[in-house]
Amino acid sequence: MAPDKDRMAAQLFLQALFPLLKVVLGDNQNIRKKFEGVTAKIQFVARDARQGDLGAYLSFNNGTLDVVQGICPDPAIAFKFSSVKRMAAMLAGKPALFRIGGFYRLGLLFKLLSLLMTLTLLMPTAKPKDPAKKRLKVKLSIYMMAASLSRYNKLGDPEINKWTGKQPERVYQFSVTGEDDIAAYLRVKAGNTQAAPGRYTKRKPFVHMKFRGIDEAIPILLNEINMVKAVEKGYLSLEGSPEYARDLGNFLMRIQTLVMG
């Protein structure tokens, strides 16, 4: 049976996008200060009578954050959706009806919204001018590339399952030259995948997608220039198998189309 596209899109948001909020808290001092002393759980949940309710919650503990998949029994604030489709739409930045439980906790709600708004940097249309925001956009995008590919495979898309299933152990690396903390990798072995931030050092990457710098990465992430032109201009280098580098790009485009609709 083919995967439910709305449910898969929502799961990609909850499982690959929400963990990036921890990166934001680590990098953005102003937002991090807002959550100092905050201990609370904030739930996102969608009704699904056929496959079971879908949800995840943000667990804040004095400035630290854990993203927990599942349903929290007593959250401070809960975003409740009548369907998975509505949840996926709202997380993609589209209008969608939902209810908020714990709305009276306005201070916490405003802090949360300021945190969630940083994820709009990942939108293909987001064109930050501030150098710090440009850097954060690239960092979040690099992390998201590896994480979303791994989750997409684990969620059961048939085509990427076939692609990963025929591979021995391989590493796909994403990085920005000169930026040690802007790197992430995807490990593939016989259908299994694992994504993590950083540079993988135990094995040479089978494919290394290397952006020349922050400013060169931005037009690629904004879809203002395709990968072929980016390579021609020197904005991007693709080391390793060109065939598999192309496959990576195609899967990333499919994921973007799925989550953005």
Model confidence pLDDT, tens digit, residues 65-117: 999 999 998 999 999 999 999 999 999 888 888 899 876 788 999 999 999 99
DSSP structure class, residue 115? H
pLDDT recorded at residue 228: 87
pTM of full prediction above 0.85: yes
C-alpha–C-alpha distance, residues 17 and 68, integer Å: 12
Q: Which helix (H) or strand (E) element contains residue 243?
A: helix 242-260
Confidence tier at 2 by pLDDT (50, 70, 90): low
C-alpha–C-alpha distance, residues 217 and 136, integer Å: 12
Residue holding tokens 């799925």?
A: 258
**SS3 per residue for the chain:** CCCCHHHHHHHHHHHHHCCHHHHHHHHCHHHHHHCCCCEEEEEEEECCCCCCCEEEEEEEECCEEEEEECCCCCCCEEEEECCHHHHHHHHCCCCCCCEEECCCCHHHHHHHHHHHHHHHHHCCCCCCCCHHHHHHHHHHHHHHHHHHHHHHHHCCCHHHHHHHHCCCCEEEEEEECCCCCCEEEEEEECCEEEEEECCCCCCCCCEEEEECCHHHHHHHHCCCCCHHHHHHHCCEEEEECHHHHHHHHHHHHHHHHHHHC
> Domains in the chain and their CATH numbers?
5-122 (3.30.1050.10), 131-260 (3.30.1050.10)
pLDDT recorded at residue 105: 86
Which range in 61-65, 85-89, 169-173 is most confidently predicted, on average pLDDT? 169-173
pLDDT recorded at residue 94: 85
Please give the span between the terminal C-alpha atoms of the chain, in angstroms, as a whole number: 21
C-alpha–C-alpha distance, residues 132 and 211, integer Å: 17
pLDDT (tens digit per residue) in 182-196: 999 999 999 999 999
CA angle 85, 148, 9 (to 5 degrees): 5
- The pLDDT > 70 percentage for the chain reads 98
